[in-house]
Structure 1
Amino acid sequence: MTDYPGYDEAFLGIPLPLPRPADARPARELTYPHFSVTLDPARRLAVVTGVNIDGPTVQDLPRTGTWDYDPRVPEDEQTGPGVYADNDLDRGHLVRRRDPGWGDAATAKRATDATFVFTNAAPQAARFNQSKELWLGLEDHVLAYAQTQGSRISVFTAPVLACDDPPYRGIRIPRRFWKVAAWATGVASAPLAAAGFVLDQSHLIDTTLAKGVTVVPLGGFRTFQVPVGDIAVLAGIDVGALAAADVLTAPTAAARAPRELNSLADVIL
């Protein structure tokens, strides 16, 4: 796989470095077209991903990619196809297929195809990964915001890699995922805004059954809009300027506590 510049910290016109692990864990930063993945090789999953989205030039392309290992990384440092076989787990995109697919058609296709790499996947309960109601709907909502506002957005997503995540086929399945969206405001006094979200799929996964993994009925997961600073603590990452730019904790914010989302109308951007 060819190396690409990856996530651009100057993309919003405001310096915004990719969040990074707050501790000294070994990590591999991998670059792709318009996005980057920071891989925790011990967990075989990403600890941070970051993608730049240019709303006005996002292309609506057919799904053409196929999942494969990143040849730059040993296969035993990636969560490969064996984890997803014969169970109710999906290979959940962390950087979504559509998000880096902007620019001219050739560039957009190269970027969307590049998302089908196991370094950019994490096990997600199928019903949560496919639900348009909240997590998938939230991702669509963020992209639509960039497109309708004619703006650029940078989005960071990863699983929470907790020590007590349930073991399964040589990995530990993340119970929670986080996402932070950031955009420029055009206001000199507060040039950056950000919003953070956490999804908890703890009640969707059960690794104790004979088949390996099953899921409970839809509705067993919960999505919250939470302060970005809380995400930093939860996921063990350094979010830099994102915490201070959070729309939930800004002085003018109407709500400062975590908010459970029951519909997209509950989202504050």
Structure 2
Amino acid sequence: MVELLDDARRDGADPTELTYRNFSVRISKSRRAPFVSAVNIDGKLSNRDVNRTDVWRRDPRIPNQYQNLREGYGNQNQGFFSRGHMTRREDPNWGEDVKLLEQADADTFHVTNVAPQRQGFNAGIWLALEEYVLGNSDNENLKVCVLTGPVMRGEDPTYYNVQVPIEFWKIVAFVNGTNKQLTTIGYKRSQAKFLPRPAKAAFVFGDFQDTQVSIASIATDTGLNLDEYVAYDVFEGAGENFEVEVTSVADFYLTR
């Protein structure tokens, strides 16, 4: 895990956490991509009209060698990849101060918040899930916490000298509008069908593109400590291997 440079550290703060406006990130040294990007969303103060920054840059608080600005990224028609936001650009854009809203949007365009994705992957349920959960949240607690990241496996394929994750995951935490209970759900999405297949490729594509999964299984896949989220998972107790194919956001289980 990448640690902050000495002059960027704060007393008592975790040296592996890159904090931005309303979200934070932890970076893998070997993959030059986030293990996890975590954002808090306040639906009542959300502003979706902030102008898109669209200027990609490195973060000066960590060494450049752990940040991939250009390698493997480019025109999809030529086989290259898009910079896929982990924390979506709209999600941290909430509040009443215009300058802070603009800062939040700009912060999401640090390369510390991206992983290689094919453009066709970055749509559908992946984009709609958070709005769906907000729509099913308790109106008095219209706040959502979202954790997002790639599943980094040793057998992930390599393109343009970059090892590209096949799967991505999300965990969403919210107060359920039906039972007023704190609730968490886990989700995985595969970009396997969008990937150009390397010659003599040995990796295996998953059965489903979109699945609701147990958070315990995400913890196993990522090595992250997610115990606090497991306790409120709608699939808690179902077993790590339990998963449900989803074809739209309406297929998600939001209660036990």
For the aligned pair, the TM-score class normalised by the smaller chain equals 0.7 to 0.9
| Equivalent of 2:87 in 77, 82, 95 | 95
Which residue in the other structure is 2:244 paired with? 259
Q: Give the stretch that moved more between structures: 144-153 or 157-166.
A: 144-153
Deviations 1:69-111 (A, max 9, x none): 1122222211222321243421110001011111112222211
Q: CA deviation at 1:139?
A: 3.8
Change (3 A) 1:184 1:264: closer
Query: Is 1:154 aligned to 2:145, yes or no?
Result: yes
1:204 touches 1:221 (CA, 8 Å); kept in 2? no
Matches within 5 A, 1:206-221: 206=196, 208=198
Task: Decide whether the 8 Å contact of 1:225 with 1:267 is kept in 2.
Answer: yes
Q: Give the TM-score taking structure 2 as reference length.
A: 0.80
Letter aligned with residue 179 of structure 1:
K
2:157 is aligned with 1:166: yes
* Correspondence for 2:16: 28
| Of 55, 63, 68, the match for 2:52 | 63
CA contact (8 A) 1:4 1:33 kept: no
Aligned residue identity for 2:234: V
Say which structure, 1 or 2, has more relative contact order (CA 8 Å, 6+ apart).
Answer: 1
Contact 1:224 1:258 in 2 (8 A): yes
Amino acid at match of 1:115: T
Aligned with 1:198: secondary structure?
strand
Give the % identical residues. 34
Answering whether residue 118 of structure 2 is matched by residue 128 of structure 1, we say: no
Give the partner amino acid of 2:211: F
Distance (whole Å) between structure 2 residues aligned to residue 33 and residue 147 of structure 1: 24
C-alpha separation between the residues in 1 aligned to 2:105 and 2:225?
27
Deviations 1:193-225 (A, max 9, x none): 10010011123212527xxxxxxxxxx971111
| TM-score, L = length of structure 1 | 0.76
In structure 2, the CA distance between the partners of 1:161 and 1:109, relative to structure 1 (3 Å rule), is: same
| 8 Å CA contact retained: 1:48, 1:156 | yes
Structure 2 gaps, min length 5: 1-7, 200-206
CA distance in 2, matches of 1:122, 1:51: 16
Equivalent AA in structure 2 for residue 117 of structure 1: H
Distance in 2, matches of 1:165 and 1:96, equals 23
Residue 137 of structure 2 contacts residue 176 of structure 2 at CA under 8 Å; is this kept in 1?
Answer: no
What one-letter code is carried by the residue in structure 2 that aligns with 1:163? G
SS in 1 for 2:245: strand
In the alignment, is the contact (CA less than 8 A) between 2:149 and 2:168 conserved in 1?
A: yes
Structure 1 unaligned blocks of 5 or more: 6-17, 19-26, 210-219
Cα pair distance change 1:41/1:266, threshold 3 Å: same
Counterparts of 1:81 and 1:237, CA distance in 2: 28
Instruction: Tell me the equivalent position of 1:113.
Output: 106
Q: Does the aligned pair in 2 maintain the 1:167–1:207 contact within 8 Å?
A: no
Distance 1:186 1:142, change over 3 A: closer
Q: Give the equivalent residue in structure 1 for 2:172.
A: 181
**Aligned Cα root-mean-square deviation (Å):** 3.0
CA spacing shift, 1:207–1:71, aligned 2, 3 Å: farther
